[in-house]
Chains A and B, each alone.
Chain A
Amino acid sequence: MLKTPKPVFALLLLLVFAFMSASAQDWVHTGTNRGAPIKLAVPDFKAASGDPQTAPLNTVFNQTLWNDLDNSGVFEMVSKSFYPLQMPGTPGELKVETWGNAPVDAAMVAFGNLGVANGKVNVQGWLFDAKNAGAPQILGKQYQENATPDYARLIAHKFADEIIFRLGGGIPGIAETKLYFISSRSGHKEVWSMDYDGQGQHQLSHLNSFALSPRVSPDNSRVAFSGMTADSWQIMMYSVELGRMVSFPRFRGDNFSPAWSSDGTKFSFSSSMRDGDADIYMTDASGGGLKRMTATKGPDVSPVFNPKTNGQIAWVSGGGRTRLPQIYIMDADGSNVQQITNQEGYAVSPSWSPNGMLLAFAWFRKYGPGAPGAQDIYIMDIASRQFVQLTHDSRRNDFPSWSPDGRHIVFQSNRTGTDQIWTMLADGTHQQQITRDGKNSQPNWGFK
């Protein structure tokens, strides 16, 4: 019998409110300057010549430039429907106030022109501060390449990266980076590569067996991966420069899941060479100087270096220490082992952020915000052990890999029915599918 229902009711409301806002926070945000994105206007570049090649190249250029800036995690793109009708091609044609005031109300405007002459495409681009009519120019750039769609895309990537570098706090953009992944569309699982936006997908390896776990070296020169031979898995090396396989030592047992240190001097992988039980090993970049890092019973797989210091390794251990796989870190000499995930569920596929502070990984928790039975991508702050869930799908998301700018994550998801490659910003927004043919998995983000 309650004599004074009112205070209790108020308390209830308060608690419910707190609960709701706490769980709303569950979906939020880390890693990017999302607090105040810069409002950027990017009108289509003006066609600067009458050459018939100009129009199609200009279209490719404009689309690519817009996508690069829109996906950068730095800008809020002002919709083109607000833009004034006159298309500025040079600074003389641009009225700064028009762009800085309503309805456009942009903070920045990027504009320029593109023309084709004598088989070359020429692009001029400017970035102006739309709120500063007195001295608006931030940068002006000029490019010339052969007049092909691939080069039009390349120029757009370069210009976008310039803008992102300038306005994104000095962190280089990723528009020219490449992704390495596994595709089965040729009939076998092979190593493929593509631009970070999914363009230009092409096959690298021709093993005609099973290829897994591609990891590119920090200088972008070689891709290490695991290949199945008749009697074992071996670490294999593909040279991007030479366009063919190069040699790497063979070891007894199964050898797989390679990783590079960020200075390119050290190499790590999982191997069962000693006693048939998979453990973490370290070598130099050519596979010499073999050192064993773990000695536990049960599979130890998926090593990854802390790219900021190269002084630590995170990896997955299961079976022996704990039954289901969990994520651990240790110093690069094998000491100071710590468990990172808390025993709940099945945690795999760690990827260390470029600033050394965060681990992204795949977690099958069985209960929690994701539907039961789902495996989602999480980010954890290593120092505080606090984590955020980035995907909230009822299917399987796996193999997160950080971009070099620390703002993006590429991963695999089977939410469309088959495994495909997706990218997203590091706060979980802007999730986009970038592969469609066949089955595609295990993406790895190349370096700048």
Chain B
Amino acid sequence: MRVDIFEERDKWTAPMLIAAGLHGLLAVAIVLWAWFGGSQGDVWGSSSTGESVNASLVSAVPLPATQPPTDNVLANDSKGLTETVPQKAVETPDAVPIPERETPKKPQPKAVTTANVKPLPQPKEPPKDNVVPYGQGGPASALSGSFTAANTKGGFNFQGSDFGVRFGWYVQQINRTVSSRWYRNEVDPSVTTVHRVYITFDIMRDGTPGNVRLSQSSGIPSLDQSAVRALQRIDTFGPLPDGYSGSKVSVEFWFDYQR
């Protein structure tokens, strides 16, 4: 028997080449298929997932709890948050001037006619020292009362009389009337800590308020002005009680504001 090794080698090369060629073709085919046939699977990491819902608030939103707001929804007339210098008689152009006269160029929220309303908070005086100490927001004592509304607390004091004892019902009326006229959103929304403002006024026999004045500033002009404006919006508290013999009663009212 004869074995042709040389032929075997020769034969080996050609098939090798053919195999390589076929493999190459195969590779090319795969590449081509990948190139054109391509990516039918999921695109990972897409950016089209659902976002959080954009809830759009009803545009017709109205009024806070008990009162319609005035045109100054944002108190845009504050000069500074922490100013402790007593506010000057500053009035920015778009602030609604506290009405001295009755000639509005455009509809005013309310025309208050009491003549002795001061136009602007005056530079304050030191707290009067003949005033009987106030209740510090506790339960209503005989001499003073307090109220709580959202973000606010307040109280008042009747100078030197037992008015509050005898006429608790009238005191509550004052309370109710003032709180319903005080528009919280006149105060600068960036106020976050507690501030207190003191307003003093008289109530005449027929119930009309008079002599409204800022007795101690809170340090926040917008809060001060909102308190004064609350009083200016009031036409009457109702006649003084029959059992009271004085011709008027003086009231000191404090507002605690906290957002």
Contact = CB atoms under 8 A, between A and B. Distances in A.
Contacts of B67: 30
A35 B110 CA distance: 21
Contacts of B237: 169-170
A182 interface: no
B107 A329 contact: yes
A85 interface: no
A298 interface: no
A165 interface: yes
B17 to A, nearest CB: 50
Contact of A309 (B111, B180, B243): B111
A11, A35, A135, most chain B CB atoms within 10 A: A35
B55 interface: yes
A383 interface: yes
A168 B236 CA distance: 10
A129 interface: yes
Interface string B209-250: 000000000000000000000000001111101110000000
B99 to A, nearest CB: 12
A207 interface: no
A381 B73 CA distance: 12
Interface in A61-112: 107-108
Interface string A1-17: 11000001001100110
Contact of A135 (B57, B71, B243): B243
A171 B62 contact: no
Nearest to B54: A15
Contact of B111 (A15, A308, A386): A308
A170 B239 contact: yes
A132 B169 contact: yes
Interface string B102-113: 100011111100
Contacts, number: 146
Contacts of A416: none
Nearest to A365: B60
A35 B66 contact: yes
Interface stretch (B33-41, B45-53, B116-124): B45-53
A312 B73 CA distance: 24
A358 interface: yes
A303 B58 CA distance: 31
Contact of B58 (A23, A107, A166): A23
Contacts of B106: 336, 338
28 contacts: A1-B46, A1-B49, A11-B52, A12-B53, A15-B52, A15-B53, A16-B55, A22-B61, A25-B63, A28-B63, A30-B66, A33-B176, A33-B177, A34-B66, A35-B179, A134-B165, A138-B169, A138-B242, A166-B238, A169-B238, A170-B238, A171-B238, A306-B107, A309-B111, A355-B235, A356-B110, A381-B70, A383-B71
Interface of B: 45-46, 49, 51-55, 57-58, 60-71, 73, 102, 106-111, 149, 165-166, 168-169, 172-173, 176-177, 179-180, 207, 235-239, 241-243
Given A25-B63, A108-B169, A309-B111, 19 more contacts: A8-B52, A15-B55, A18-B57, A22-B57, A23-B58, A29-B63, A29-B65, A131-B169, A134-B166, A166-B238, A168-B238, A171-B238, A309-B102, A329-B107, A355-B110, A381-B70, A382-B109, A383-B70, A386-B61
